[in-house]
Structure 1
Amino acid sequence: MASSYTQRCLQCRSLFSKTVANPGRHFTHFNHGTSATRLFIKKKILNGSSVIRMSHTAIQARCTWKQQSFYYSDFTARHLSTKEEASKDIEELSKADVTYTNPLEAVSVTEDQMLLDLDEVSEPSALEEISDEEAVSIIVPSAIPPAAKSLCAYVDHSETLTKLVQLGVNLWKFEQKPIVGSMLLRLDFNTDVTPRLLFLKDIGVESSRLGYVITHNPFILTESLENLQTRVNYLKSKKFSSGTVASMVSRAPYLLNFSVKRLDNRLGFYQQHLKLSASNTRDIVARLPKLLSGSLEPVKENLKVCELELGFKENEIQHIVIAVPKVLIASKRKLTQIFDFIHNTMKVPHHLIVKFPQVFNSKYLHIRERHLFLEYLGKAQYDPNLPNYVSLDRLVSLPDELFCTDLALATVEDFYLFQKTL
Structure 2
Amino acid sequence: MMQKTATSLLRRTFHKPVLSAHPSCVIPDHSIIRSRGPTLHCTYYKRHKHEESSFPLSTALHTQMPFSKFDELLPQHIETETPRIPFKSDSFAHFIDSSKTLQALALLGVELYKIEEKHPDTLNFIVSLDLKDLKSKIEFLVNFGIRYTEIGGIITKWPKLLDPKRDTQQFEEIISYLIDKDFEKKEILALINRLPMALTMPVEVLDGMLGHYQRLPTNRGEKPLRFSNAEVKSIILRCPMLLRANLRLIYEQVRTLELSCGFTLRQVRRLVYINPWILLKDDKQLELLYKFYSRELQLSANEIADFPGCFGTRIQKVLERHKFLKHHGKAQYFRDQPGYVSLPDLYSLSDNDLCAKFSLGTVHDFKKFIKTAC
Interval of TM-score (by shorter of Structure 1 and Structure 2): 0.7 to 0.9
Q: Which residue number corresponds to residue 234 of structure 2?
A: 283
The counterpart of 2:168, out of the listed 202, 207, 225, is: 225
Displacement of 1:140: 8.6
Residues 179-209 of structure 1 deviation map (CA, whole Å, 9 limit, x = unaligned): 41110111112x2112211222223323332
Displacement of 1:228: 0.6
In structure 2, what residue type is equivalent to 1:228? Answer: F
Q: Which residue number corresponds to residue 145 of structure 2?
A: 204
**Structure 2 stretches lacking a partner, 5+ long:** 1-79, 217-224
1:350 and 1:206 mapped to 2: Cα distance?
45
- Is 1:269 aligned with 2:212? yes
In structure 2, what residue type is equivalent to 1:187? Answer: L
Q: Which residue number corresponds to residue 354 of structure 2?
A: 403
- Is 1:246 aligned with 2:189? yes
Displacement of 1:340: 1.7
- Is 1:193 aligned with 2:134? yes
The counterpart of 1:181, out of the listed 123, 138, 144, is: 123
1:278-317 maps to which residues of 2 (within 5 A)? Answer: 278-317=229-268
1:243 and 1:386 mapped to 2: Cα distance?
46
- Is 1:320 aligned with 2:271? yes
2:111 and 2:338 mapped to 1: Cα distance?
54
Q: Which residue number corresponds to residue 73 of structure 2?
A: none
1:380-399 maps to which residues of 2 (within 5 A)? Answer: 380-399=331-350
Residues 420 and 235 of structure 1: is their aligned pair in 2 closer, same or farther, counting only changes over 3 Å? same
Q: Which residue number corresponds to residue 329 of structure 1?
A: 280
Residues 408 and 299 of structure 1: is their aligned pair in 2 closer, same or farther, counting only changes over 3 Å? farther
Q: Which residue number corresponds to residue 370 of structure 2?
A: 419
**Structure 1 stretches lacking a partner, 5+ long:** 1-138
> Which secondary structure state, in structure 2, belongs to the residue aligned with residue 156 of structure 1?
coil
Displacement of 1:293: 3.0
1:183 and 1:201 mapped to 2: Cα distance?
23
In structure 1, what residue type is equivalent to 2:103? Answer: T
2:328 and 2:250 mapped to 1: Cα distance?
40
Residues 366 and 294 of structure 1: is their aligned pair in 2 closer, same or farther, counting only changes over 3 Å? same
- Is 1:157 aligned with 2:102? no
Residues 206 and 299 of structure 1: is their aligned pair in 2 closer, same or farther, counting only changes over 3 Å? farther
Q: Are the counterparts in 1 of residues 171 and 200 from structure 2 also a CA contact under 8 Å? A: yes
1:5-404 maps to which residues of 2 (within 5 A)? Answer: 141-175=82-116, 178-189=120-131, 191-222=132-163, 223-273=166-216, 274-404=225-355
2:240 and 2:85 mapped to 1: Cα distance?
40
In structure 2, what residue type is equivalent to 1:150? Answer: S
Identity of aligned residues (%): 32
Q: Are the counterparts in 1 of residues 115 and 159 from structure 2 also a CA contact under 8 Å? A: no
Q: Are the counterparts in 2 of residues 144 and 157 from structure 1 also a CA contact under 8 Å? A: no
Displacement of 1:413: 2.4
Displacement of 1:304: 1.2
2:156 and 2:258 mapped to 1: Cα distance?
37
Displacement of 1:407: 2.2
Q: How many residues align?
A: 283
> Which secondary structure state, in structure 2, belongs to the residue aligned with residue 245 of structure 1?
helix
> Which secondary structure state, in structure 1, belongs to the residue aligned with residue 88 of structure 2?
coil
Q: Are the counterparts in 2 of residues 377 and 408 from structure 1 also a CA contact under 8 Å? A: no
2:269 and 2:154 mapped to 1: Cα distance?
31
Displacement of 1:175: 3.0
Return the TM-score normalized by structure 1: 0.64
Higher relative contact order (CA 8 A, sep 6+): 2
2:243 and 2:231 mapped to 1: Cα distance?
15
Displacement of 1:178: 4.7
> Which secondary structure state, in structure 1, belongs to the residue aligned with residue 135 of structure 2?
helix
In structure 2, what residue type is equivalent to 1:261? Answer: E
Q: Are the counterparts in 2 of residues 326 and 361 from structure 1 also a CA contact under 8 Å? A: yes
In structure 2, what residue type is equivalent to 1:289? Answer: P
2:81 and 2:259 mapped to 1: Cα distance?
70
Residues 224-260 of structure 1 deviation map (CA, whole Å, 9 limit, x = unaligned): 1111111101101111110000001100110111111
Runs of 4+ in 1 over 4 A off after TM superposition: none
